[in-house]
Amino acid sequence: MAMDIRSLVLDSNKDIYSAIEEIIKKPSQDEPFYICDVSNLIWKVHNWRKLMPRVEIFFATKCNNSSIVVETFAALGLGFDCASKEEIQKILSLGVPPERIVFSNPTKLFSHLTYAAEVGVNVMTFDNEAELYKIQKYHSKAQLLLRLRCDDESARYQLGEKFGACPVTEASGLLKVAKSIGLNVIGIHFHVGCGCVNYMAYYIAIATAKKVFDTGASLGYTFKLLDIGGGYPGEGFRPLDKIAEFINKALEEHFPDNSVKIIAEPGKYCCNTAFKLVSRIHSKKVVTDHYEQKVRMYYMDVGAYNALFNILVNEYYMYRPVTIENSAQLFPSIVWGPTSDTRDRLSEKVDYLPELNIGDWLIFEEAGGYTVSITCEYNGFASPLIYTVINKEDCLLLTEKLQSPFPQDKFTSSLEAFFTGHKNPYSFRQKYF
């Protein structure tokens, strides 16, 4: 693949769509691809820090484990939430110190726990008694966060059915067991559920966490860490501002003492809008349905298994054809993914789309969350490659950032191409950090 496009530095008069056009007009370009706007990743971090200066980001690696994302976030000094040995290995390999990793999986594999002990990843979550005994045996120096069940009804994915101890009926008992076997519990963790749209959920969860902090104190613990999990909006049309307001207020009221460190594990918020997925229609047919209606059927090169996993659980993506006018006439249509699975279709219902043709490209606008990291090569269709773009100023900023504290030779993949010829420190540090 040509390096000039793989890592394109954009002048101010160019945007990401011009980069997409540049890629798709190459006659050799036949495969689907992602395009990642690194400047958007940087902006998301900047925006979070501006809105919630007290809350440090520990990016949820599971949401997007591509090199470009984790390298950029490592360069910006973020911490990471890792769920497994492999994720921990990946993050450590970037030069991120183990103290900036939280092993945020309340039910861990033995070998992963042993590995965490070996490499000094000590902060980890738990929500049950058996896990405590396991931790005592395999990682007795662990610093534990009790995960509370705090999921909100509004969340698209409620995680509480699987993880989290009830703050009322279970928390105190678990803390007593931890104390009795000499484990060090240092704080509380919760996750209100992915795609939570109820701002109050965070407020209530923080207030609940405070009560369990008090229970901990009554048992002789001094908790010093509160991890307010993930669930923050990943869609561009849902800003973070309102949630941040509720979180800041709850922290002021319940955790006014700055000696308690506050971290969060946003996934989709950090990386969803930075990615676009660009896919091509390779086949087409027109059928007549039960209502004698003509339905256009399009077959494209990405689907549930190589990129858009969430269509299997009825989550839909915003997409549009690259070249067709907005005002074009719409027809009933079904867009299929490339595999043999009939569930591999973009939407359960019939969509209304302009007339499309074989060879047309579709852009999926916000495709950075739980796409790249959840793929398999079912039927032999590979996960699309990732092109990256960044604007000139951010490129200079990252160059400067990467010189310290992360050794530049660790960043061997996609970021490398940004660094040629940009030696001067740049004043954007002021703007973002």
Options 112, 139, 189, 191, the catalytic residue: 191
Q: Choose, by CB under 6 A, the member of 8, 35, 41, 60 that binds ligand PLP.
A: 60
Options 71, 87, 131, 265, the catalytic residue: 265
Q: Which 236-265 positions form the footprint of ligand PLP (CB under 6 A)? A: 265
Residue placing its CB nearer to ligand PLP in the complex, 107 or 347:
107
Residue 137 a catalytic site member: no
Q: Which 348-367 positions form the footprint of ligand PLP (CB under 6 A)? A: none
Q: How far is CA 191 from the centre of its chain?
A: 14
371 belongs to the binding site for ligand PLP (CB under 6 A): no
Residue length of the chain: 433
232 belongs to the binding site for ligand PLP (CB under 6 A): yes
Output phi, psi for 202, to 5 deg.
Answer: -70, -40
Q: Which stretch binds ligand PLP (CB under 6 A): 87-95, 226-234, 324-332, 405-413?
A: 226-234
Q: Are 418 and 398 in contact (CB under 8 A)?
A: yes
CA distance 264 to 260: 13
Count CB atoms within 10 A of the CB of residue 429.
Answer: 12
Q: Per-residue contact track with ligand PLP, 135 to 174, x per CB under 6 A?
A: ------------------------x---------------
Q: Are 68 and 38 in contact (CB under 8 A)?
A: yes
Largest separation between any pair of C-alpha atoms in the chain? 73
Output phi, psi for 260, to 5 deg.
Answer: -85, 120
Per DSSP, 390 falls in state: E
Three-class HEC string of 142-180 = CEEEEEEECCCCCCCECCCCCCCECCCCCHHHHHHHHHH
Residue 349 a catalytic site member: no
Q: Are 223 and 260 in contact (CB under 8 A)?
A: yes
267 belongs to the binding site for ligand PLP (CB under 6 A): yes
Q: Are 41 and 74 in contact (CB under 8 A)?
A: no
Binding residues for ligand PLP, rule CB under 6 A, total: 16
Residue 253 a catalytic site member: no
C-beta of 164: minimal distance to ligand PLP in Å? 10
C-beta of 330: minimal distance to ligand PLP in Å? 33
Residue placing its CB nearer to ligand PLP in the complex, 216 or 267:
267
C-beta of 172: minimal distance to ligand PLP in Å? 22
> Catalytic positions, please?
62, 191, 265
Q: Which residue ranges make up the site for ligand PLP (CB under 6 A)?
A: 60, 63, 81, 104, 159, 191, 194, 229-232, 265-269
